[in-house]
Structure 1
Amino acid sequence: MTTQASPAPAVTVAVLGTGRLAHALTTALAARGVPVTMLSARSPERTRALDADLTVLAVSDDAIGPVADALATDAAARAAGHGSTAGHEAGDEHEAGDEQGPATGHGVVHCSGALDLTPLAPLAADHRLGAWHPMQAFATVDTPIAPGVTWGITADPGLRDVLAELTTTLGGRPVLLRPEDRARYHAAATMASNYTVVLVDHAARLLQDCGLDARSALDALLPLVRSTLDGLQDVGLPAGLTGPAVRGDVGTIRRHLAALAARPDTAALYRAVGLAAHDLLVARGMDPATLAAIDAAFRDPDAPARHDHGDPTPPAHGDPTPPDHGDAAPPAHGDAALRDCADHPGSST
């Protein structure tokens, strides 16, 4: 399902960064009529990014804090150069507008999925802060922002609506996140995206053991992965799970594990993922005896049982119990200097 793009909001955007996400975001915004510029986070001109209505730090997670520190230092030096009178006027205006946030109303956001707003704290006095993360992998610098992508938004009041409007302008789906949920949200993205690649890599190695070359092995698996995702989109969870575990085919699972004896790392992964399917099998209504046999087939006979599955109560897909978030400590940035990672060309998810 795609999301219809909405008209562009009347904001100017400056993107700091030169990596894959920076290029994709700049290209997508420009294509939809949003005035946007892209600057290197190491450029002497980077402070100009704060002149835009919205400054986007599209840099690596480790670089966000140092870049924010540098921008705050540069901005303070530039403000001091305008004279003390201007500084007093700006301070008076900010004090009068405290209830509504910074007087300028300009926003600064980072694009990390896992981090809250703590790394942007040096800019908090004069800017509204936010985190704006696309749940999409960017394999190359030419990968475009896809329609229908979910964007995780955590932001100060007043900036949330701007980020939500920009998200719909890009054809995406805005999702508001509490600061304490961002690491959990990003872990979900990592499992679904990055670790799918890990599973495909192990599967491709098995096909290479069968005589296929690396490219042929990948080409054989990609249509299977796509058809799995298509089925998952059509029928959802738990019905999207297929295969021998769903059929209760203990014999096939045992034959698989015997064939994986020469690849213990892959066998361990196969067992772990198979055991992790337990709740899906329960939700599909598998009878307890078959479920116990499936679990026993997956469990490593040389390792202690990792779960007690004696109470196979189906999980509530779509109506989860709110998790206990605890008291997560904010990341500490220290006095780290800007490094080459400031424009790191990494993917977002």
Structure 2
Amino acid sequence: MIESKAAKVLRAAGLWQWFCSFDSLGLKATWIDTRLGWSSMTLSSPSSSAPDAGQGAALPPPTRPSIAIIGLGRVGMVLGRALHAAGYPLVAVSSRSPAKAQAAAALFQAEAATPIVAAQAADLTLLTISDDAIPGVVAELAVAGAWHAGQSVVHASGVSPAAVLAPAAAHGAAIGALHPLAAFASPETTLPPGLTFAIEATGTLHAQLWAMARALGGYPFDLDPADKTLYHAAAVIASNYTVTLAALASELFVRMGAAPEEALRALVPLMRTTLDNMERQGLPQALTGPLLRGDVSTVQRHLAALDESVPRVGALYRCLAHGTLPLAQQRGLPSDMAGALQDLITLPGEMVVEREV
């Protein structure tokens, strides 16, 4: 077992072990403990031959199952293209849109079919539909007789447990979950190498999903269903809210007279170099900026400007600073400077529970 680049990036979730809320007293920042323990997490290398002992280590290499994909949105198309390129036999695809199904069938050399026909045609059915739709679809297919022993049913949701596939399990099918930890903004996105795949499964299906993740150039790891919500929240913070931060920073550039496209052109390289630093150096070494330097006067000027022009961004700045200070202290920020900064970013009436470093 080695710690992958993906694991190092996941540890960035430690930056977000706090949450913000607003009430009549103003902004509050509170530290909470993580349940996933990203800092000590290790993921399997794509070149590893088997899961750890106790997770199928003694099993022979699993055979590649034939696959049907139900749902041809962004995730379904990206995974379908990657699986096809990796040599997996895609036998059927299904979509609410006949045109999408026909196009995907031609691309993957598969058959366009109804959901029940697609499910009956494959060893493993991959459900790449919305989280809310999964229980209803799997139950409808169970009533229609789509599921049976010897079959596997897997969903690609990052937040739902495999248990939502219980109607299939009741008919003898093996059930599981395979979630690629990536942001797919378009169905044409190419699955990048080095992704983390969160897996929930047992037995033969578990071994097959681990092998599938490796075949796609990824790093599989087993995710306890009890931890899925926290896992998904970490993913949302690291991915979706990065876009939010870029939008807010762009807004400040626009207030200075820049066009939105100019703002983004200026900020994206900065954000990319920060991610590169995290990948190369890890945390907290990748941290830079005024909090790390203990530059109280600069932070004070930032807050004064933000409070005057965009108070909501000033409130977020304070909340982010609360989360950043412990990282700066880990890098050696003296306690007196940390205290001065803490006083500066804490509003009257605000409750702060500091994280131990």
CA contact (8 A) 2:62 2:204 kept: no
Q: CA deviation at 1:9?
A: 4.7
- Does the residue aligned with 1:114 lie in a helix, a strand or coil? coil
Q: 1:306/1:38 Cα in 2 relative to 1: closer, same or farther (>3 Å)?
A: farther
Q: Distance in 2 between matches of 1:9 and 1:293?
A: 61
Residue aligning to 2:280: 234
Residue aligning to 1:123: 168
Q: CA deviation at 1:24?
A: 0.5
Unpaired runs of at least 5, structure 1: 80-101, 315-349
Q: 1:197/1:9 Cα in 2 relative to 1: closer, same or farther (>3 Å)?
A: farther
- Does the residue aligned with 2:230 lie in a helix, a strand or coil? helix
Q: Distance in 1 between matches of 2:192 and 2:266?
A: 25
Does 2:54 match 1:11?
no
Residue aligning to 2:123: 53
Map 1:186-265 → 2, pairs under 5 A: 186-260=232-306, 261-265=308-312
Q: CA deviation at 1:257?
A: 1.1
TM-score normalised per structure 2 = 0.75
Identity among equivalent pairs (%) = 40
Higher relative contact order (CA 8 A, sep 6+): 1
Q: Indicate which of 129, 132, 147 corresponds to 1:62.
A: 132
Q: CA deviation at 1:70?
A: 1.3
Q: 1:225/1:290 Cα in 2 relative to 1: closer, same or farther (>3 Å)?
A: same
Residue aligning to 2:356: 313
Q: CA deviation at 1:286?
A: 1.8
TM-score normalised per structure 1 = 0.77
CA contact (8 A) 2:176 2:205 kept: yes
CA contact (8 A) 2:82 2:191 kept: yes
Q: CA deviation at 1:48?
A: 2.0
Q: CA deviation at 1:285?
A: 2.5
CA contact (8 A) 1:24 1:145 kept: yes
Residue aligning to 1:283: 330
Q: Distance in 2 between matches of 1:230 and 1:60?
A: 32
Q: CA deviation at 1:140?
A: 1.1
Q: 1:198/1:8 Cα in 2 relative to 1: closer, same or farther (>3 Å)?
A: farther
- Does the residue aligned with 2:145 lie in a helix, a strand or coil? helix
Q: Indicate which of 164, 183, 201 corresponds to 2:229.
A: 183
Task: Spell out, residue by residue over 1:21-65, the C-alpha distance to the aligned partner (whole angstroms, 9 max, x if none).
Answer: 111011111111111132116887111232311111101110111
Q: 1:5/1:212 Cα in 2 relative to 1: closer, same or farther (>3 Å)?
A: farther
**Larger strand proportion, structure 1 or 2?**
2
Size of the aligned set, in residue pairs, is 285
What RMSD in Å do the two structures reach over aligned CA positions? 2.1
Does 2:138 match 1:138?
no
Q: Tell me which structure has the larger Cα radius of gyration.
A: 1
Segment of structure 1 superposing worse, 114-123 or 206-215: 114-123
Q: 1:285/1:163 Cα in 2 relative to 1: closer, same or farther (>3 Å)?
A: same
